[in-house]
Structure 1
């Protein structure tokens, strides 16, 4: 341990700890920052108090704590321990505690002064887990307001793209060289083949020796990176059918595995077999896996992304970033020269994202909002977060907490919210647990709250067996292991006791539906024939046809995900729901709404009073009279669906739209947009007041759109429009010549040629910014010429027009000098007689 590169920084670190309370350490993979440094810190006088080290992953937390404890020669849970969700090895003697999964946040919320803690270490902070970002934000606030002696150290394999210096500008910066051997990188793209089959073939070639290794690379442990448990199991099955169990140990490694199975993957094989470790991205950093000299990387990760439109999380395969690929490859060079085989092309690598997207930018933020409210923050902007989350995701998070009655309008915790926070589960489940306790009392059902605890344990559990989508099929599974332990913890927090096995036996599927509806009211679903189900939030849902849940008329979707390429989500876990519950304990979810629509077949309006749960309609009652506001809203809905074609957009209306559009371009100022899209978007404001008494399509078509659009402008705008871009131009003869505006921005003045005599040049509009295009007419109102330059027209083309027209219209004036002739709208005789 003393030979690791980070040891060269120990003197600098001691000096920095004496002068700074914030430190940032950049140390590449293999430097020893996760093991050698915390091991040494236990003996440094510069640290007074306990050391808490945050590891983003459970597997890494256990492994690091176990390794450091062994180096100290002490039992795990003594001087060195760990705490992860559902598992803890700590005691009153623990001085170094490795924690994860929000444990640090809970420690700070329970004891804001962090009594007895001298140093908090944030390891692998570059991975940008949401819980890490929140823990750092709270720790910095504790340091700034309550504990100026508290020391904070942020450690990262790379600082590239990580704005730590902005959040901790006074921190001491230290860098350690990594210790790694050269890694040869080869590309073996699967092409059009299944990448899992390609993974299996490459691993088989490495294991059998058919794939020649570069010089100096020993055939040690092979580490394969795969997206998830299902892919690991498939590749493991492929290898077990083809490799000798006596010669090879095939070891899965993912977060759901128990500690014993994880140890098999991390340590030496007891039988001395060569190991093939099939891992998710839990193996990217912090973990030490024995003897790895070769890495085979699928280049993929299964990543969850929150969709604010549907309010659910989509699970999909994503290409990893370049930084992650480099991190994975580095695992092959920790002990000796290594080989990394990437199952994609080098061109694809060059096009990958440079670094991973922070989890806070793509996650549901409900739990973060509850933690913020518990801390006293009214918005995420009040927290010292490394990245600001999307505003829409934050807005949805606060809205859901309010719907669950956990915060008020000002985002302050309610009494229900304070209790929910102490339960330490997702806010939806916390709401269900508390409501179930109250409902159990009112319904005299002692099993209801204990059943809610079991359901919550299933929904937050790991490693569920595959027993279909009905959550009641997992009740017996939850009677043991981590799920049962978690259910009993929640029972204790609710001051209840129960025999979980008896609760499971007595549970009815509709009890499960009732309880899940308390947690997921927006995910109550109603069957819609062969198209699956529609949720109360408007999203679509499908159920596997072979699953009995597909036959239900109503259900609650507790766990479902959107799948890329599909418009509807797929149900993973839920429960059938009895519609009669909406006349009983779920009555508070019902709302009544009057709606109206146009019946195309009958050509008239219909209106009804709907009883709804979200967007689901439970019942309908026809209304004899259609209120004006409903009729207006129905017309608006129809126009948005059908477009503006049902309206009589005559020449007057079209001309007004063109004038307003031209005014916005030439005059500036605040003019309303009058294109089709904008008019449809703002129908309520400009057309809505005229629709309440319209009862037929014929009446709709008779609306004077020109007047209505003009009236939608205020008096100043109308006055300015008429002055700058008038509908008519006053000729010297007294004629008000019409101006026609065109879509290309031209303004056409249509007038008889004789009435234009005496005009030296073309008239200007819009404060001189628009020159009229003059359409000059014969005495019979036939077009003679089109010009935008009247002065040039008089000097040139007019002479040809005069020669031709003088013989056709001899009774009218055709002077040689029209620019200096008085205009007229009469014949030559009458004009000269007047003169």
Structure 2
């Protein structure tokens, strides 16, 4: 059909529409840089609907649900239509499309699901990635999958990546052949003021005062015709500031929160025009930074904070903390004041601090928990994230933790392929932990004819995923009735439908036992079973410490299962927000699969003997210890190796010869690496104890016997026979003198704080040859080793074996300092040779009387 577009204001993007259309017909990949206000999110897709060469659907990704709905509504309005006709949207929990929809605005995770369901993206002609500079994790993944689809299955698919800025964005690495087009932005001048919070004052109170002063300042009249947009880090701060402002401002002001958890109606109230006679102050998270046009904004008040989530791989939980925004984010925020006319922006930090802010924000993939992404990866058939064309590689430890959890939940096998349960979990579309709980609950409910157990699992999953729960303490049992209403109820019923499980929620709630709840939570969080540890809160089975409010009903329970806890800045232990009591008897029944039993051997320092114990454990929590077990040979060997790890190599017979061997090999590795020398540093030897020491202590039963082990011989045998022979040639232990003496060479190396060698400073090592001066006579130059790459330092000794001089340049010594040595030594050792011409004198190890020719 032919679309009739209404006339509209000319936007900067209109100036490059012809170039975009031309490139569209020639290229399958486009990169569009268009600053805020250019019209890329609205005018471009609107224009593309009229291009007859696009034979298929256009998908445009928006990072946030509120933006996706807003953009779809705006474009549909331009067409004189309602949403769901030519223009529709898909966000989680809300879809408005029809069979006639040609432009779908979707959130990022929706695209990934569409590609996984239909890798050929049947009927889709164009994918537009909007606001890609925000670097959300689902955007990075969606782009990687789309590029692979384009390359392997759909060469007719067009991919357009749109960003407010390309600075620091490695798009050209992934799309080297893409056509790049730049558009101007549309914005008016914005005046910036810096008003940092005074010391000892709450920044939120300071922000309330600044907003009040700004809207009542007569000198700012030219900016006060519009509305105010204030940026805050999160929902909690927004609600507190709303209360503070309501106390200060009169009824002509509308205080409108704007964050992701609000209903569409509440979001529309914040975004739309205000009623006559009213002015509006929008209190928003960074959801309002880009994509979203809020009507009538002329003043921006920026707290300068964002709430940043950072995954801690050691605890398996995401830590929330306040952090300063980047300079790029500050530019985006202040630009919202200049969309319609000249604007005014107050930044609640100093100009000097602004210069120290990060240039751009870190991508989410560097900070996030990656379990869901790993499940996506496995579903796609990839075994590592490196197989995907990602803009940024995630931290290796984050990826490792994600794969480990999937295997622990039996969603992937050791080869990282999806199991049958894994395929079912991916189809559910929730976090893998919750998917595992739901599917296992369904299986147990069927096996035991207890359908209400699966309904209860759906309820628990809904509560765990919900945002903005009322405060009823940490016991999740207190929140079960929340599933009877609102969005939680809708989600619970959706899972019932997906699992084909019927049953009344009220019945499941009334019949729910604490044991059932804790069992279900343990299916999702086997690593968060918690044991009380006195005044220090609880220890989780993953080794993490957590605390719970002292007045909470769960505070004095011996065992818990923790469903939700968070780590925050300035706290040593995570704070528990949702948990359930756990009956220890479950470890012998429904949770027995989580219990491990292992015999551990060790050395009892106090009793001076080896011992063995059988530990019954849940993760890192010891449930029971059985003593009096006779240590097995493997236990004794393991205990001996552990003693070496704890006390270091000094517990062995580590003599000077071994240390010299280590130094010599390290010099050979540096100066003659072509011979593939093994690493013999302390760190490497400690890391490989089981390889070089373990097999040779099978008959050792005490620390005294361990101290007699021939450590030098064992370490030397890490070298092949050929390498040992070559080492003696290149880095000898002695130097043959003309007198027949084999003068010893001591090697010295610079060490770091751990006692290891500095590889980059190996040239600072030295070989020190100690010999009496008379035996060095006749030597014109200092000896060299390692094929002449290293000069041997001479330590010249007196007849009494006392050091006289140390030099790495023997020729210079003979010509200079030797004269003073000779003058002093002739009187002290008159019977020994102190020639005037040392270079042309034959070396001797005797006195003058015994030296032939004298």
Partner of 1:538: 543
Partner of 1:558: 563
CA distance in 2, matches of 1:816, 1:142: 86
Question: 1:746-795, CA deviations, whole angstroms, 9 ceiling, x for partnerless residues?
Answer: 444445566556666654444443324244242x6566666666675597
| Larger CA deviation: 383-392 vs 787-796 | 787-796
Change in Cα spacing, 1:738 to 1:506, as seen in structure 2 (3 Å) is: same
Partner of 1:770: 791
Change in Cα spacing, 1:586 to 1:793, as seen in structure 2 (3 Å) is: same
Partner SS state of residue 421, structure 1: helix
1:602 paired to 2:601? no
Offset at residue 540 of structure 1 (A): 2.5
Question: 1:180-220, CA deviations, whole angstroms, 9 ceiling, x for partnerless residues?
Answer: 2111111111142322121111011123x14731x732342
Q: TM-score, normalised by structure 1?
A: 0.91
Partner of 1:235: 241
CA distance in 1, matches of 2:780, 2:104: 93
CA distance in 1, matches of 2:589, 2:633: 34
Offset at residue 58 of structure 1 (A): 0.9
Partner of 2:207: 199
Partner of 2:426: 421
| Larger CA deviation: 128-137 vs 497-506 | 128-137
1:403 paired to 2:408? yes
Partner of 1:220: 226
Alpha carbons 1:220, 1:293 under 8 Å: kept = yes
Partner of 1:613: 618
Partner of 2:759: none
Change in Cα spacing, 1:151 to 1:710, as seen in structure 2 (3 Å) is: closer
Offset at residue 287 of structure 1 (A): 1.8
Offset at residue 347 of structure 1 (A): 1.9
Change in Cα spacing, 1:409 to 1:828, as seen in structure 2 (3 Å) is: same
Offset at residue 145 of structure 1 (A): 3.9
Offset at residue 591 of structure 1 (A): 2.4
CA distance in 1, matches of 2:31, 2:88: 24
1:725 paired to 2:728? no
Alpha carbons 2:196, 2:348 under 8 Å: kept = yes
Alpha carbons 1:631, 1:691 under 8 Å: kept = no
1:516 paired to 2:521? yes
CA distance in 2, matches of 1:77, 1:752: 98
Partner of 2:762: none
Change in Cα spacing, 1:351 to 1:831, as seen in structure 2 (3 Å) is: closer
Question: 1:633-659, CA deviations, whole angstroms, 9 ceiling, x for partnerless residues?
Answer: 334434444444544544333333333
Change in Cα spacing, 1:378 to 1:803, as seen in structure 2 (3 Å) is: closer
Change in Cα spacing, 1:691 to 1:529, as seen in structure 2 (3 Å) is: farther
CA distance in 2, matches of 1:42, 1:818: 97
1:35 paired to 2:58? no
Offset at residue 278 of structure 1 (A): 0.5
Offset at residue 806 of structure 1 (A): 5.0
CA distance in 1, matches of 2:183, 2:738: 89
Partner of 1:800: 823
Partner SS state of residue 300, structure 2: strand
Q: TM-score, normalised by structure 2?
A: 0.89
Partner SS state of residue 594, structure 1: strand
| Larger CA deviation: 750-759 vs 381-390 | 750-759
CA distance in 2, matches of 1:265, 1:755: 94
Alpha carbons 1:787, 1:793 under 8 Å: kept = no
1:586 paired to 2:594? no
Alpha carbons 1:52, 1:119 under 8 Å: kept = yes
CA distance in 2, matches of 1:825, 1:479: 102
Partner of 2:4: none
Change in Cα spacing, 1:274 to 1:758, as seen in structure 2 (3 Å) is: closer
Alpha carbons 1:777, 1:785 under 8 Å: kept = no
Question: 1:658-707, CA deviations, whole angstroms, 9 ceiling, x for partnerless residues?
Answer: 33344444444544555544444443344444555555444444444444
Paired residues for 1:101-140 under 5 Å? 101-140=108-147
Partner of 1:710: 716
Partner of 1:64: 71
Alpha carbons 2:640, 2:703 under 8 Å: kept = no
Which stretches in structure 2 are left out of the alignment for 5+ residues?
1-6, 751-764
Offset at residue 719 of structure 1 (A): 2.4
Which of the residues 359, 363, 372 maps onto 2:368? Answer: 363
Offset at residue 448 of structure 1 (A): 1.7
Alpha carbons 2:769, 2:793 under 8 Å: kept = yes
Partner SS state of residue 477, structure 2: helix
1:269 paired to 2:290? no
CA distance in 2, matches of 1:159, 1:703: 63
CA distance in 2, matches of 1:95, 1:761: 86
Partner of 1:100: 107
Alpha carbons 1:2, 1:36 under 8 Å: kept = no
Change in Cα spacing, 1:472 to 1:787, as seen in structure 2 (3 Å) is: same
CA distance in 1, matches of 2:769, 2:27: 79
RMSD (Å) for aligned C-alpha atoms: 3.1
| Larger CA deviation: 16-25 vs 456-465 | 16-25
Partner of 1:437: 442
Offset at residue 229 of structure 1 (A): 0.5
Change in Cα spacing, 1:730 to 1:73, as seen in structure 2 (3 Å) is: closer
Change in Cα spacing, 1:696 to 1:381, as seen in structure 2 (3 Å) is: closer
Offset at residue 226 of structure 1 (A): 0.1
Partner SS state of residue 319, structure 2: strand
1:3 paired to 2:9? yes
Partner of 2:661: 656
Alpha carbons 1:632, 1:691 under 8 Å: kept = yes
Which of the residues 498, 502, 520 maps onto 2:503? Answer: 498
Alpha carbons 2:229, 2:299 under 8 Å: kept = yes
1:85 paired to 2:88? no
Partner of 2:196: 189
Which stretches in structure 1 are left out of the alignment for 5+ residues?
none
